[in-house]
Amino acid sequence: MGFVLTGVVGTIITNHYAAKQKELDRSRSFTDKLNEARVGKIVEVWEQLSLHEAAANRFVEDAAEIDKIQHDPAQLKPPKGDPAARALADRTTQDMKSMVELDDAVRDLSDKNRIWLGEEAYKKIHEYLDETHGLTRDSLVDGQEGPARRSRPNLTEIRDLIFANSP
C-alpha cells in the first residue's frame, strides 16, 4: 500500500512540475516573440534615422561648398551658367528634399512604433530630428559645422538608450 501511495504522490508532483514547466516555456516563447517584434521595429526606425543623418550630412557639405563658392574672396565666382555650379545647386536641392522626406518617414515610423521604442527614446529621436533641422538651417545661413560633428553623440545616445532598455 505504501508503494502505491508513493507512486501516486510522485506522479502528482511530477505532473504538477511538468505543467509549471510548460507554462514557463509558453511565457518564454511569448517573450521571445515580443522581443523579435521589438527588434524588428527598432531596426526599421534606426535604418531611416541613419539614412536621414546621411542626407543631412550631404546637404551640409554641399551647402558649405556653395557658400565657399559664393562668399570666399579667394575663389573666383563661377558664371551663372556654369554647369558645375548648377549641378552642385541641383544636388543640394535634392539633398534637402531627401532629408525632408526622410525626416517625415522617421517621424511617422517613430510615431507608429512608439510603444516598441519606449517614451524616452521616442522623445530623443524627435529632439534629434529637430536639432538636425536647426543645424542644417544654420549651415545655410552661416556655414556652421554640420550635424555629423554636433549631433552624432545625440544619435549614439539614442541608440544606447534603446538597447539599454532591451530585455
Task: Give the start-to-end residue ranges of the domains of the chain.
Answer: 35-164
Give me the residue label for grid cell 534615422: 49
Sign for the CA dihedral angle at 107, 126, 97, 38 comes to: negative
- Asked if 59 and 132 count as a contact pair (C-beta separation under 8 A), the reply is no
Query: Who has greater pLDDT, 87 or 18?
Result: 87
Query: Who has greater pLDDT, 9 or 97?
Result: 97
Q: What is the mean pLDDT of the chain?
A: 76
Q: Which of 41-45, 135-139, 145-149 has the lowest mean pLDDT?
A: 145-149
Q: Per-residue pLDDT for 151 more than 90?
A: no
User: Which helix (H) or strand (E) is 146 found in, with range?
Assistant: none
Q: Per-residue pLDDT for 76 more than 60?
A: no
Global confidence as pTM? 0.65
Q: CA–CA separation, 52 vs 136, rounded Å?
A: 12
At 70, phi and psi to the nearest 5?
Answer: -80, -30
Q: CA–CA separation, 21 vs 12, rounded Å?
A: 14
